[in-house]
Amino acid sequence: MRSLFDAARACLDEAEPARKVALTHAAATAFRAGELGIPDDAPPPAPITAPGRPETPRLVHPRDVPQRGMGTVEGRAAFLHAIAHIEFNAVNLAWDAVYRFRGMPVGYYADWVGVADDEARHFAMLSARMAELGAAYGDHAAHNGLWEMAEKTADDCRVRMALVPRVLEARGLDVTPGMIARLRGNGDAVSAEILEVILREEVAHVAAGTRWYHWCCAREGLAPGPEFIRLVREVARSSVRGPFNRPARAAAGFDDDEMRLLEAME
């Protein structure tokens, strides 16, 4: 039987976006069909490196990513490009969570394979919409902040679950409703509907991060709330800013104490 870890690594290494999407869907289907095993004697994961990605978009510092308004077709295409880049990175982040962290329950791997499958579909939806607007992934510069956090958290599943899903990806829960409103206000209901699908499904993705962060804390005898705030303060303070989408965050597993302390950091 093929190894899930080998399949995850193949998806991570693939550079061409359409092939990465196809490989991801195929691997997720195979895993759900019981065709990918989770071997106890698999070799340890290789040290984290840059995942497979195309030559473009060119990666720049976040402050150097151009900001475009949504009042023109070109501006909306550039905006969707930024979201597509996040989704492309999210495919890699989900597969790295599968590949890198060994000895987890089967449910952990099922969750993150499912997330990878969803993120690949999100990327494909955004790519198709950009094509309708005369644009393509790679047309604009982008930044590498999501993967940089993956590199910082590569040695500890607990820290990865805390800081990637529950900080960086949870940021999408806060800002996406405003993006949807702006798209609708500029007459782009088609793009807004895509973001509405993504927002609904990202709640479940952040909830998966919460679930496995709590599992890791229980394994290590740590109180999840105080440990999360400690990690945010020490590693990801600059990534936390409101206003927060409290209903979405509550659905994703944030409790009132966490939210109160996050709001106090602003």
Tens-place pLDDT, residues 126-175 = 999 999 999 999 999 999 999 999 999 999 999 999 999 999 999 999 99
Assess whether pLDDT exceeds 80 at residue 60.
yes
pLDDT for the residue 266: 64
Of 92, 215, 100, which is closest to residue 158 (Cα–Cα)? 215
Residue 213 phi/psi, 5-degree rounding, is -65, -45
Angle between helices 189-220 and 224-235 (to 10 degrees): 110
At CA 37, angle to CA 22 and CA 41, rounded to 5? 125
**Structure tokens, 20:** 């990465």
pTM of the model: 0.96
Beta bridge partners of 36: 2
What is d(CA 239, CA 152) in angstroms, rounded to the nearest whole number?
14
Rama region for 187: left / alpha / beta (φ>0; ψ in -120 to 50; rest) = left
Assess whether pLDDT exceeds 80 at residue 259.
yes
Q: Which pLDDT band holds residue 12 (cuts at 50, 70, 90)?
A: very high
Which amino acid type is present at position 50? Answer: A
Rounded mean pLDDT, 2-14:
98
Contact criterion met (CB below 8 Å) for 57 and 138: yes
pLDDT-above-90 percentage for the chain: 91
Rama region for 207: left / alpha / beta (φ>0; ψ in -120 to 50; rest) = alpha
